[in-house]
């Protein structure tokens, strides 16, 4: 079967100025299998051409792509390429897309693994990394791969980068090349490139990561290979809290609503919380309440897609008043409702309502001035 191989061109991102050295150093599964940052790319139009140039890896799918439909997700994605080109990063992206991910599986176990995945009711798709760490066994990969794709919907993704980019990444991370330290990094890169050339010729897709940072690579993989897999959605947690009990340490964004009048001093509201209609009516009676809710909601609706685009999976927004009983609860409820209506995946947590209720009416939110907030 004749297959069309696609080399994906890289484009520009005006915000691409992050160094990936720390990400490379943090990946303890393979020496330097992440992507380092490069200078801003030259052609901003090139990225738009990726979608036009991408071709489905197997016959029968090309018509769907030409018609604008996403091809079905492969049962098995095999990620390979040069060390330091970003294989670890790409594997994590597929894992986030719902693939069962395995790094450095011995080649002789791949057919068995594929069979187990195909027969498992719990694993519909999987991704694994095969690279130079296999040693001499890598010579058996081409024949094994051709046999494997006769019975499985398999996609082979090859990652490469320029010698200069790879050498710079090794210099930044100070980690050894998988082929050892007897030769120079450049010499090892050359040997590895020659060793993998035959495998690269089998690849359905080739990505040159020389001028990509980690966020660009993640976006590219999701946009090209998500198929029928569900793209990971950023979970936004809205949490109310009381400052007197401490600011939540896992907060990404914190908003202080103690500028609003405190219902604690209103007769009949002290022992209620921000979910009660009487408290809601009181807090909303002030014009700054509605304006604040609207402005914060608009800000978050603007920010959340940008956080998601940068690869963030969770965003925790903490809204605090004095005791976490009245104002913060009411505002958190309103903001969460607005975000949910805008299509955001949300979770709502009122951290200190139980603490306030459990400590008794008089002391529930006492901050020294008798207020719960």
Q: What is the pLDDT of residue 356?
A: 56
Same domain, 120 and 262: no
| Residue 234 CB neighbours (<10 A) | 18
Which of 154-168, 232-246, 309-323, 327-341 is the most confident on average? Answer: 327-341
Q: Is 40 a domain residue?
A: yes
Q: Is the pLDDT of residue 324 over 70?
A: yes
Report the pLDDT value the prediction gives residue 200, as an integer from 0 to 100.
Answer: 87
Tokens of 320: 């605090």
Residues 81 and 99 in one domain: yes
Average pLDDT of the residues in 190-212: 88
On whether residue 370 sits in a domain, the answer given is no
**Two structure tokens written together for 145:** 């791969």
Spell out the alpha helix ranges (H) of the chain. Answer: 21-26, 46-53, 62-66, 87-96, 110-119, 141-148, 163-173, 185-202, 214-225, 277-284, 287-309, 327-341, 353-358
Structure tokens at 303: 């920010």
pLDDT at 232: 62
**Given 196, 225, 254, which residue is the final one in a domain?**
225
Instruction: Give the DSSP letter of residue 261.
Output: P
Tell me the three state secondary structure of residue 149: coil
Query: For the chain, what is the domain count?
Result: 2
- Phi, psi of 61, deg, nearest 5: -100, -20
How confident is the model over 239-249, as a mean pLDDT? 94
Same domain, 220 and 239: no
Residue 176's pLDDT is what?
Answer: 73
Output the pTM of the full model.
Answer: 0.54
Q: What pLDDT shows up at residue 326? A: 95
Q: Are residues 221 and 311 in the same domain?
A: no
- Residue 176 and residue 46 share a domain: yes
**Which pLDDT score, from 0 to 100, does residue 98 have?**
86
Do 23 and 89 form a contact (C-beta atoms < 8 A)? yes
One domain, residues 81 and 176: yes
Separation CA 311–CA 73 (nearest Å): 21
Q: Which residues of 196-205 are buried (b: 16+ CB within 10 A; e: fewer)?
A: beebbebbbb
* Residue 177 CB burial class (10 angstroms; 0-12, 13-18, ≥19): buried
**Within this chain, do residues 24 and 165 fall inside the same structural domain, yes or no?**
yes
> Which residue range forms the structural domain that includes residue 289?
235-358
Is residue 28 very low, low, confident or very high in pLDDT (cuts 50, 70, 90)?
very low
């Amino acid at each position: 079967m004749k297959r069309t191989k696609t080399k994906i061109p890289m484009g520009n991102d005006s915000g691409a100025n992050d160094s990936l050295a720390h990400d490379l150093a943090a990946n303890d599964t393979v020496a330097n299998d992440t992507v380092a940052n490069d200078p801003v790319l030259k052609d901003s139009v090139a990225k738009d051409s990726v979608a036009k140039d991408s071709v489905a890896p197997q016959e029968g799918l090309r018509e769907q792509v030409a018609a604008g439909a996403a091809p079905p997700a492969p049962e098995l994605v095999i990620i390979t390429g040069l060390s330091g080109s970003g294989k670890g990063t790409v594997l994590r992206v597929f894992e986030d897309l719902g693939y069962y991910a395995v790094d450095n599986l011995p080649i002789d176990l791949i057919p068995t693994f594929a069979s187990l995945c195909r027969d498992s009711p719990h694993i519909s798709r999987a991704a694994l990394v095969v690279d130079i760490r296999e040693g001499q066994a890598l010579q058996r990969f081409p024949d094994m791969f051709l046999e494997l794709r006769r019975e499985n919907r398999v996609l082979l993704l090859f990652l490469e980068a320029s010698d200069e980019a790879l050498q710079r990444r090794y210099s930044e991370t100070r980690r050894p090349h998988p082929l050892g330290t007897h030769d120079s990094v450049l010499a090892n890169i050359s040997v590895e490139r020659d060793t993998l050339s035959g495998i690269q010729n089998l690849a359905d897709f080739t990505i040159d990561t020389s001028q990509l940072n980690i966020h660009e690579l993640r976006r590219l993989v999701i946009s090209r290979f998500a198929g029928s897999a569900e793209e990971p959605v950023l979970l936004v947690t809205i949490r109310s809290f009381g400052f007197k009990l401490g600011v939540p340490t896992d907060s990404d964004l914190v908003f202080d609503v103690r500028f609003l009048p405190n219902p604690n001093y209103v007769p009949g509201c002290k022992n209620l919380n921000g979910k009660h209609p009487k408290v809601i009516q009181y807090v909303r009676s002030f014009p700054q309440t509605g304006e604040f809710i609207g402005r914060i909601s608009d800000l978050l609706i603007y920010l959340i897609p940008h956080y998601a685009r940068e690869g963030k999976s969770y965003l925790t927004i903490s809204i605090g008043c004095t005791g976490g009983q009245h104002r913060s609860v009411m505002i958190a409820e309103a903001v969460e409702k607005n975000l949910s209506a805008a299509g955001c995946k949300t979770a709502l947590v009122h951290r200190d309502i139980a603490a306030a209720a459990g400590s008794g009416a008089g002391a529930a939110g006492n901050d020294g001035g008798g207020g719960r907030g």
